[in-house]
A and B are shown apart, each in its own frame.
Chain A
């Protein structure tokens, strides 16, 4: 078993953005979540509010942090799943996610927890 981020990316030319009625997408995504849950693979899933609802915190070279309204950088991230599944299943889940969501998705494995990484240090 391994943890993965499945990140949905909405680009201007994503089929999702070309659809007028998204009802079927929401239905398919509900099924996708139900299926993940029934398989015991769903850790977390949510869509994100529009990028303009984001607040950025910028760290400067001197270590100071400044608050900044609006998107920090151009972003396409629109929603995310955290799944816990056998490694051989991860790509198939991501594929199903892309099909249900009608957009690109990125599958990224998580690193070990930072506290575990600290233990590895000499």
Chain B
């Protein structure tokens, strides 16, 4: 191969990585079938590897992918479709194939149907009729365009198990006739929060990991949340989640030391925080908060923003953070929120008051409950109790980095 052919192949691979989700979403609308859509887009990729090195990279690679995949989809319907699905597919494609009214074409050519398709598919993937695990897996496969083996690796699941989960979820979408559309105004807030919950789960799954070779899931979650914000610009909680992700991601470089060990907020070298991510996150949340409709994601982002402005733990506006936690607790009166609030109470009112709050919480199975208690106990000079609590936390920790961290603390490290 000549080098320009290599370049074309690289461009094709990159274009498909970026555009796959959009193309699949459009094809699902056209073909009414997720498997056929995925297959058609895969076929288009193979075709791109043939054609692009020979004829050059098309002016709009994404448009080429959708158009080529659509034609492949039509071929599949013609070749394999039963009579029933052939009629259905033909009807869908007819809706698309009619020539647009030239007068309208001028007005409409700026609209971007691709984005609407992606939004529709996002709501389909995060439909409450599917289990949460399936929602996450489908979103990563169909919207983010991740390979099944990468999703399986991220969730520490064998690849065949993940493949089965995806197949079952897609079958369920077809069997339960889950509508392929953006929900109406009445259900929208509830359905948006389901989508946000999935995106946040994807983010946290990637954030728990130390740096790896593959692009972390947290970056993928940020990308998807960013497009959700573009698609639904009036959803403040979507903006809040984006800000929260950016502010959290900004701290990643300081989160592990050179040995790969976890570093808590108090011990982090704040000069390592990514200034551009911090600035973007802070800008977004500042815009949201003036609207005075702060939901849980906005409040958490605001808390993170206050941290991001402080040069050190000591010089943090803890009272401001406490009042944000009060607002958060009013909306989400859960034990985990109260646990996090107690950490702030320790800074504002002292560890004794904070310890009495934490002791009353029913979170004995949660490793951070033990870790938080241990921290307060150690600050109160109750060393033996603190060690016990650190060990109990280490035994329950979900990742090796966190286990090692808590075990180290138990030994006075």
> Taking beta carbons and an 8 Å cutoff, which residues of A are in contact with B?
31, 34-44, 46, 84-85, 89, 92-93, 96, 99
Residues of B near A34 (CB, < 8 A) are 63, 66-67, 70
Interface mask (B116-137 → A, CB under 8 Å = 1, otherwise 0): 0000000000000000000000
Residues of B near A38 (CB, < 8 A) are 26, 60, 62-63, 66-67, 114
Interface residues of B in 215-265 (CB under 8 A from A): none
- The closest CB in chain A to the CB of B60 belongs to A39
Residues of B near A44 (CB, < 8 A) are 102, 105-106
CA distance A39 to B60 in the complex (A): 6
Contact A35 B63 (CB under 8 A): yes
Q: How distant is A96 from chain B, measured CB to nearest CB, in Å?
A: 7
- The closest CB in chain A to the CB of B57 belongs to A92
B413 interfacial by beta-carbon distance below 8 Å: no
CA distance A39 to B58 in the complex (A): 11
Residues of A near B62 (CB, < 8 A) are 38-39
Contact A89 B109 (CB under 8 A): no
Given pairs A40-B111, A40-B112, 14 additional interface contacts (CB within 8 A): A31-B67, A34-B67, A35-B64, A38-B26, A38-B60, A39-B60, A40-B109, A40-B110, A42-B109, A43-B109, A44-B102, A85-B59, A93-B59, A96-B58
Interface size class of B (residues with CB under 8 A): 20 to 34
> Taking beta carbons and an 8 Å cutoff, which residues of B are in contact with A?
26, 55-56, 58-60, 62-64, 66-68, 70-71, 102, 105-106, 109-112, 114
Given contacts A41-B60, A44-B102, A85-B59, contact A35 B67 (CB under 8 A): yes
Q: How distant is A102 from chain B, measured CB to nearest CB, in Å?
A: 14
Contact A84 B58 (CB under 8 A): no
Contact A89 B60 (CB under 8 A): yes
- The closest CB in chain A to the CB of B97 belongs to A30
Residues of A near B71 (CB, < 8 A) are 31
Residues of A near B109 (CB, < 8 A) are 37, 40-43, 84
- The closest CB in chain A to the CB of B26 belongs to A38
Residues of B near A99 (CB, < 8 A) are 55
CA distance A28 to B59 in the complex (A): 16
Residues of A near B60 (CB, < 8 A) are 35-36, 38-39, 41, 89
Given contacts A34-B67, A34-B70, A40-B110, contact A89 B59 (CB under 8 A): yes
A-B contact pairs, 19 of them (CB 8 A): A31-B67, A34-B63, A34-B66, A34-B67, A34-B70, A37-B109, A38-B60, A38-B66, A39-B62, A40-B112, A41-B63, A42-B105, A43-B106, A46-B102, A84-B109, A89-B60, A93-B59, A96-B59, A99-B55
Residues of B near A93 (CB, < 8 A) are 59
Residues of B near A85 (CB, < 8 A) are 59
Residues of A near B111 (CB, < 8 A) are 40
Residues of A near B102 (CB, < 8 A) are 44, 46
Which of B60, B63, B71, B102 is the most central at the interface, judged by chain A CB atoms within 10 Å of its CB?
B60
Contact A92 B59 (CB under 8 A): yes
Residues of A near B26 (CB, < 8 A) are 38
Given contacts A31-B67, A34-B67, A34-B70, contact A39 B59 (CB under 8 A): yes
